[in-house]
């Protein structure tokens, strides 16, 4: 009996320790933005909103969030459109070398990371005059995310019944009509997930914008956040904490959104 | 590129290449090869230019004495394997490699796997809000932007007024300066556990409850159930999980955000080392050589991982 | 309205699998035609080839007077209902039914009017604004039918039209479909693996096996005179008795009993040859009294079929079945005599029917 109780106590102690381990570093983000004179230590906040005012007054804090948005949405659009087209073709048509291509894509996306490619990308960007260009960064980020996106969408399309498309085909619709009328509406949930996944990846990406954007006004929040705490002098904790919070909220919301909608359901046009 | 969410299930793709031919024509919309080619072309073009080409280009750069400034910037010369030889004989390179090894071993192989599995195991029978809270916090650590969590740990570990020192009741203990490797290892463990936790959670859910119950009825303790029923079932998952997160950790740049490789290169993992030599010191050729090494190591791990997946199915 | 003709139609998949082996078939205008067979026999491949979703490797498909073999599915003037109905989930019933007209570039008001008219004909008036997900299986089927009716195509193709319905609904739907086809008079080809369904609905049918057509005929022909042992064993809710027999001048020696030579094979058998004797349980009359030309044995199993019983006799070491009307079922173990009808018994040599 006592062994059982001791076991239970041990179990709950461990849970408490784990909870503490994961919570404590996060607490600062929840308390410091609302504290009028924050330090590195976590303290009970006195619930002030003046820090947020400082963010608004800061020359490039809010603007960097806009940059993050531009980069994220731009990349998401490009990735969704290109990956959907490619994935549909790969799912439905037996192109020569298709299987080898898919394997190669899988390999590439795992091997060619930001770390491995930072040197050539940087040098290429200089040569091609793509430094300080949002467009260039979007293209580069898309290139890195496309292989994985193609898989995920292809996987989704593989499990979409073909009878919808065949039905439309026998009714006389052209292939492009079929894609527009039938395929796109059907894979919308998959496309939405890819869009969110892309945004989440780009939003937090530090290395690429750090490397390729030197103009402060173009830099996204990831770089600005870093700059704020490494720039010389005493770090302005009011700005840092508040900015960090603002910067974090969108990804958290997106994660909640995706986890609620996770799982692709058909709305019954097919009798299972 | 940073991995924020779990990767696509590569097993499905690998499966495709080994599945028997289906019965009916799959070109449901009558796309035809030409149009299909046109659909695939834009994505492939982008991938070729911005992903494949840099990977090949880095090998070329490694063979040149390219620098960011000075004579070599304007007129780089072919130097053959000089950069590679330089790397092999450079103690900094080997130090960095050793640090990276510690980083991967400590935070991925040991840290994330053990912690992720432990949490998944402890929560396996739980349902409801408490489970969601615990999982939610672990996942929060993973999805918050790297720049933010890095600073949260800078704040936590601050020598004078950091929360950790406050809790431990000690003052003036400079974690990031005196124990940089420990700091980044614990940090990365904290950050990455969520992925392993979810993976093992799913794997545990697939262990047939009847097997566990048979063991329990036979008198097996929790530990024995783990050893005799659970591990055999999830053995395959452990290895593939290990490979994947090792690959990610090996390429992780976020130590830079925490310690910038310092103090004095004491936490300069390879990712940071490349950055420093190529982009701060400007020796692009040398940095490219190291990057090539990183690519090759990635290649070996990735191929091994894919082989494993194939053999599992 | 059009007849469908297949000439030497062949379909070989890459890898050498012959799904269709040089098929010839003639379906006259307005006929309700069934393609029946076990799974893998090629019936769905054949349907899809007629539709154009699969390309033929050899031979021709002629619809009306047109050779459509090389023509895209959308241009063959046919309409198809898939097994899962394929109703577009993001469109309501009206838009689903109107879809073929939309492709034909009919103006919106016009096509919605037509869709409403067809929908009303099938009793869908109150459902026109619903999404497919909000409909029952039977309703979905009617929407799918309305959709093909809206095309006013020359021929309809149905892939397993009833298999997605509950068993109860299926029987009602059978009658409904047959009546509808009669009214519309459109040439219709449907695929089914259910022989009872084919017998009930079709005007004529083709029984297929492994890419070949084993018999073409009316339900009566296929039921009463199956052309080979495959068709004989595939057709019929109760399996036909197929028994090894030896010819002895004008009788057959079957499992130690003597039965008369089937009327259809009279004069065509060689003395002493080994053939297969076939007679349906429904064409056997059972008696407890000894009878000439009967198969006799002990009753080992009695199965209740509702208004009749299926009695299994052990004759020598062979099982023979007979259908016995209600009220006349025997006791287990009693000795019974099953007398086959001479005009319904059949003889098979090397699997093929022996007949004039």
Distance from the A264 Cα atom to the nearest Cα atom in chain C, whole angstroms: 13
- Interchain contact B168–A (C-beta under 8 A): no
ipTM above 0.90, yes or no: no
The first and second tokens of residue A121, run together, are 């990308």
Biggest CA–CA distance in chain C, Å, is 77
pLDDT one digit per residue (tens) for chain B, 313 residues: 334 444 555 444 434 433 334 468 888 888 888 999 999 999 999 999 999 999 999 988 888 888 877 777 777 788 888 888 888 899 999 999 999 999 999 999 999 999 999 999 888 888 888 888 888 899 999 989 999 999 999 888 888 878 888 888 787 788 888 889 999 999 999 999 999 998 888 888 888 888 888 888 888 887 888 888 888 888 888 888 898 899 999 999 999 999 988 788 888 999 999 999 988 888 888 899 999 999 999 999 999 888 888 887 6
Residues 192-211 of B with CB under 8 A from A: none
> Using omega within 30 degrees of 0 as the cis cutoff, is the peptide bond preceding B194 cis?
no
Distance from the C170 Cα atom to the nearest Cα atom in chain A, whole angstroms: 15
Q: What's residue A86's pLDDT? A: 95
Task: Return the exposure string of B118-152: e unless at least 16 CB atoms fall within 10 Å of the residue's CB, then b.
Answer: bbbbbbeeeeeeeeeebbbbbbbbbbbbbbbbbbb
- Interchain contact B206–C (C-beta under 8 A): no
Q: Of the ranges A52-66, B246-260, C255-269, which one carries the lowest mean pLDDT score? A: A52-66
The first and second tokens of residue A47, run together, are 């619930």
Q: What's residue B106's pLDDT? A: 94
Task: Return the exposure string of A85-119: e unless at least 16 CB atoms fall within 10 Å of the residue's CB, then b.
Answer: bbbbbbbbbeeeebbebbbebbbbbbbbbbbbbbb
3-state helix, strand, coil in chain C (%, to 5): 30, 35, 35
The first and second tokens of residue A73, run together, are 């949405």
Distance CA B261, CA C132 (A): 60
Q: What's residue B6's pLDDT? A: 45
- Dump pLDDT digits (tens) for C193-240: 999 999 999 999 999 999 999 999 999 999 999 999 999 999 998 999
DSSP state, residue B275: I
Residues of C engaging A, defined by a Cβ cutoff of 8 Å? 51-53, 73-75, 78-80, 82-90, 99-100, 103-104, 131-135, 137, 140, 147, 151, 164
Query: Which residues of chain A neighbour B35 with C-beta distances below 8 Å?
Result: 89, 175
| Rounded percentage of chain A residues whose pLDDT exceeds 70 | 94
Cβ–Cβ < 8 Å for B160, A234: no
Contact A89 B57 (CB under 8 A): no
Contact B147 A115 (CB under 8 A): no
- Dump pLDDT digits (tens) for C46-71: 999 999 999 999 999 999 989 999 99
Distance CA C7, CA C77 (A): 19
- Interchain contact B8–C (C-beta under 8 A): no
Strand pairing category for C346-349 and C274-279 = antiparallel
Q: What's residue A271's pLDDT? A: 31
Query: Which residues of chain B neighbour A124 with C-beta distances below 8 Å?
Result: 53-54, 57
Nearest to C1 by CA among C172, C188, C126, C171: C188
Nearest to B274 among A41, A118, A142 (CB): A118
- Dump pLDDT digits (tens) for A185-242: 999 988 988 998 899 899 999 999 999 998 988 999 999 999 888 876 677 888 888 8
Contact C100 A266 (CB under 8 A): no
Q: What's residue A47's pLDDT? A: 81
DSSP state, residue C9: E
- Dump pLDDT digits (tens) for B254-270: 999 999 887 888 889 99
Q: pLDDT class for A42, splitting at 50, 70, 90?
A: confident
Residue C259 has pLDDT above 90, yes or no: yes
Instruction: Indicate the average pLDDT of chain C.
Output: 93
Contact C55 B25 (CB under 8 A): yes
Query: Which residues of chain C neighbour B23 with C-beta distances below 8 Å?
Result: 13, 19, 45
- Interchain contact B54–A (C-beta under 8 A): yes
Contact A205 B2 (CB under 8 A): yes
Query: Which residues of chain B neighbour A231 with C-beta distances below 8 Å?
Result: none
Average pLDDT for C12-41? 92
Nearest to B106 by CA among B303, B293, B267, B272: B267
> Cα separations (Å) of C102 from A53, A177, B273, C74, C108?
56, 11, 62, 13, 7
| Chains touching C by CB (3 or more pairs below 8 Å) | A, B
| Chains touching B by CB (3 or more pairs below 8 Å) | A, C
Phi, psi dihedrals of residue C2, rounded to the nearest 5°: -155, 150
Query: Which residues of chain B neighbour C55 with C-beta distances below 8 Å?
Result: 25
- Interchain contact A161–C (C-beta under 8 A): yes
Distance CA B20, CA B247 (A): 32
Distance CA C131, CA C202 (A): 32
Query: Which residues of chain A neighbour C82 with C-beta distances below 8 Å?
Result: 163, 166-167
Cβ–Cβ < 8 Å for A149, B42: no
The first and second tokens of residue B23, run together, are 């019965």
Give me the DSSP letters along B24-77: S---TT--HHHHHHHHHHHHHHHHIIIIIHHHHHHHHHHTB---SSSHHHHS--
- pTM confidence score: 0.84
Average pLDDT for A251-256? 86
Please provide the size of chain C in residues. 356
């Amino acid at each position: 009996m006592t062994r059982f109780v001791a076991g239970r106590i041990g179990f709950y102690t461990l849970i408490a320790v784990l909870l503490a381990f994961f919570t404590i570093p996060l607490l600062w983000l929840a308390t410091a933005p609302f504290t009028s004179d924050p330090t590195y230590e976590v303290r009970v906040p006195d619930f002030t909103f003046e820090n947020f005012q400082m963010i608004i007054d800061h020359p490039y804090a809010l603007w960097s969030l806009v940059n993050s948005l531009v980069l994220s949405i731009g990349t998401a659009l490009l990735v969704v459109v290109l990956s959907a087209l490619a994935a549909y073709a790969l799912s439905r048509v037996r192109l020569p070398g298709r299987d080898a291509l898919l394997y190669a894509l899988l390999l590439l996306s795992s091997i060619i990371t930001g770390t491995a490619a930072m040197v050539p990308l940087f040098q290429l960007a200089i040569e091609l005059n793509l430094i300080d260009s949002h467009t260039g960064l979007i293209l580069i980020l898309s290139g890195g995310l496309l292989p994985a996106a193609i898989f995920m969408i292809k996987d989704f399309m593989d499990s979409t019944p073909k009878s919808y498309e065949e039905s439309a085909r026998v009714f006389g619709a052209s292939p492009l009509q079929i894609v527009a009328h039938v395929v796109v509406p059907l894979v919308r949930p998959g496309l939405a997930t890819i869009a969110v996944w892309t945004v989440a990846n780009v939003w937090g990406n530090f290395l690429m914008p750090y490397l390729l954007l030197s103009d402060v006004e173009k830099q996204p929040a990831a770089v600005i956040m870093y700059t704020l705490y490494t720039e010389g002098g005493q770090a302005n904790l009011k700005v840092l904490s508040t900015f960090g919070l603002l910067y974090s909220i969108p990804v958290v919301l997106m994660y909640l959104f995706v986890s609620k909608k996770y799982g692709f359901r058909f709305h019954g046009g097919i009798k299972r | 590129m940073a991995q924020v969410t779990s990767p696509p299930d590569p097993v499905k793709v690998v499966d495709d290449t080994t599945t028997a031919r289906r019965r009916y024509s799959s070109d449901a919309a009558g796309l035809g090869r030409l149009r299909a080619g046109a659909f695939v072309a834009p994505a492939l073009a982008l991938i070729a230019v911005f992903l494949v080409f840099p990977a090949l280009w880095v090998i070329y750069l490694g063979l040149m004495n390219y620098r960011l400034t000075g004579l070599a910037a304007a007129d780089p010369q072919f130097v053959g394997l000089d950069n590679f030889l330089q790397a092999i004989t450079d103690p900094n390179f080997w130090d960095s490699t050793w640090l990276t090894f510690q980083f991967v071993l400590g935070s991925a192989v040991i840290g994330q796997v053990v912690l992720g599995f432990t949490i998944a195991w402890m929560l396996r029978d739980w349902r409801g809000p408490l489970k969601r809270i615990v999982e939610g916090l672990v996942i929060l650590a993973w999805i918050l932007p790297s720049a933010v969590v890095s600073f949260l740990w800078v704040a936590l570990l601050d020598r004078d007024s950091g929360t950790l020192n406050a809790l431990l009741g000690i003052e003036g203990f400079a974690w990031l300066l005196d124990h940089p490797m420990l700091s980044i290892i614990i940090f990365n463990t904290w950050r990455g556990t969520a992925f392993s936790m979810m993976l093992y959670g799913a794997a545990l859910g697939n262990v047939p409850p009847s097997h566990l119950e048979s063991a329990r009825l036979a008198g097996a303790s929790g530990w024995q159930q783990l050893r005799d029923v659970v591990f055999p079932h999830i053995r395959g998952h452990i290895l593939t999980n290990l490979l994947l997160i090792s690959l990610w950790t090996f390429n992780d740049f976020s130590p830079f955000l925490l310690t910038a490789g310092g103090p004095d290169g004491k936490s300069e993992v390879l990712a940071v080392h490349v950055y420093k030599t190529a982009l701060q010191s400007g020796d692009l050729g040398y940095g490219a050589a190291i990057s090539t090494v990183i690519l090759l190591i990635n290649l070996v791990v990735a191929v091994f991982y894919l082989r494993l997946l194939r053999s599992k199915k | 309205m059009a007849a469908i003709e297949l000439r030497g139609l062949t379909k070989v998949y890459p890898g050498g699998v012959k799904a269709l082996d040089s098929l010839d078939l003639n379906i006259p205008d307005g006929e309700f035609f069934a393609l029946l067979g076990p799974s893998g026999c090629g019936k769905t491949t054949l349907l899809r080839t007629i539709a154009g979703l699969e390309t033929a490797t050899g031979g021709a498909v002629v619809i009306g007077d047109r050779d459509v073999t090389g023509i895209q599915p959308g241009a063959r003037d046919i309409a198809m209902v898939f097994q899962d109905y394929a109703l577009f989930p993001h469109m309501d019933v009206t838009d689903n039914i109107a879809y073929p007209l939309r492709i034909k570039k009919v103006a919106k008001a016009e096509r919605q009017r037509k869709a409403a008219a067809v929908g009303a004909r099938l009793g869908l008036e109150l459902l026109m604004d619903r999404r497919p997900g909000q409909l029952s299986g039977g309703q979905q089927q009617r929407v799918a039918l309305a959709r093909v009716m809206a095309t006013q195509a020359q021929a309809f193709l149905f892939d397993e039209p009833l298999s997605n319905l509950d068993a109860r609904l299926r029987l009602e739907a059978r009658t409904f479909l047959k009546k509808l086809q009669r009214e519309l008079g459109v040439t219709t080809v449907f695929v089914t693996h259910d022989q009872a369904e084919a017998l009930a609905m079709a005007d004529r049918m083709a029984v297929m096996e492994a890419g070949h057509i084993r018999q073409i005929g009316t339900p009566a022909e296929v039921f009463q005179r199956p052309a080979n042992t495959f068709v004989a064993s595939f057709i019929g809710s109760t399996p036909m008795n197929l028994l090894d027999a030896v010819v002895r001048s004008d009788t057959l020696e079957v499992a130690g009993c003597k039965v008369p030579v089937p009327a259809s094979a009279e004069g065509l058998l060689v003395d002493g040859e080994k053939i297969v004797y076939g007679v349906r349980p429904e064409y056997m009359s059972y008696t407890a009294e000894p009878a000439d030309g009967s198969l006799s044995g002990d009753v080992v199993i009695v199965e209740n079929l509702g208004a009749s019983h299926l009695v299994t006799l052990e004759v020598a070491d062979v099982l023979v079945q007979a259908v016995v009307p209600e009220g006349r079922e025997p006791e287990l173990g009693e000795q019974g005599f099953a007398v086959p009808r001479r005009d319904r018994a059949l003889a098979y040599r090397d699997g093929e029917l022996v007949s004039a």
